[in-house]
Amino acid sequence: MQMFPFLYHCLLFSMSGSIIFTIVKYTRMSKYKLIIYNLKQNCLGLEPKTVALSLTLGFCVGIIPLLGVTFITITALGVLLKLNQVILHSIHLLITPLQIILIPVFIKAGLLLFNQPDASFDVLTHEILHSNFLEILQKMGFMLLYGLATWLILAVAMGLILYRVLLVVLLRRKVKAMNNASVLD
């Protein structure tokens, strides 16, 4: 158990995958257990509003349908709003598989939402073989924009609901902890 402060400081100063892989290999913990432990340690002593907002933004921005954009976006939002970076990035790392799964879902929903013709894999393959490269890039760019628009609509709605639910849960947990502490005194 003396290893955990070392793990905490490694995650605090570097959230790169190679550092996490090295730590997981060294301690024989799974990556997800390590992130959950890190989240529990970072939530101690913070205001429930800060924790709820950090968790909500980490989740909502973490599922944006653009790979590689989430890290910079979450870091910038965390700095601007003075949120806990470790919580933001831990949630982001936890839901990265969900982000990858949701990319085609957001694109398909965006095409339906904006009443655009469906672009299946067969249609795209045919266009790649028989069309101009710039036309293909333009079509794929618009598909991605439709997906981003869908994500934005869903992220705002989901973020408001998730923030309220997390805030209520964290406030109840804080009150319960304070009541338990006063009973022990």
pLDDT per residue over 112-143, tens digit each?
888 877 766 566 667 667 777 787 778 888 88
pLDDT per residue as tens digits for the range 68-98: 888 899 999 989 998 888 888 888 888 888 9
Answer whether residue 154 is part of any domain.
yes
Answer whether residue 30 is part of any domain.
no
Q: Nearest 5°: phi and psi at 120?
A: -80, 175
Instruction: List the one residue out of 143, 148, 105, 93 whose CA is nearest residue 123.
Output: 143
Answer whether residue 37 is part of any domain.
no
Q: 1-5, 37-41, 172-176: which has the minimum mean pLDDT?
A: 1-5
pLDDT confidence tier of residue 36, bands split at 50, 70 and 90 = low
Mean pLDDT for the stretch of residues 138-160: 90
- Could you list the residue range(s) of the whole structural domain that residue 165 is in? 45-184
Answer whether residue 104 is part of any domain.
yes
The confidence score (pLDDT) of residue 8 equals 44
Residue 75 burial class via C-beta count within 10 angstroms: exposed 0-12, middle 13-18, buried 19 and up: middle
Mean pLDDT for the stretch of residues 39-44: 60
How far is the C-alpha of 148 from the C-alpha of 154, rounded, in Å? 10
pLDDT confidence tier of residue 182, bands split at 50, 70 and 90 = low
The confidence score (pLDDT) of residue 59 equals 92
Report the domain count for the chain.
1
Answer whether residue 20 is part of any domain.
no
With 90 as the cut, is the pLDDT of residue 161 above it?
Answer: yes
Answer whether residue 64 is part of any domain.
yes
Residue with structure tokens 């470790």? Answer: 86
With 50 as the cut, is the pLDDT of residue 7 above it?
Answer: no
Mean pLDDT for the stretch of residues 37-46: 63
**Chain centroid to CA 39: how far?**
13
Answer whether residue 49 is part of any domain.
yes
Answer whether residue 1 is part of any domain.
no
- Cα distances (angstroms) measured from residue 158 to each of 108, 153, 164, 182: 19, 9, 10, 36
The confidence score (pLDDT) of residue 56 equals 92
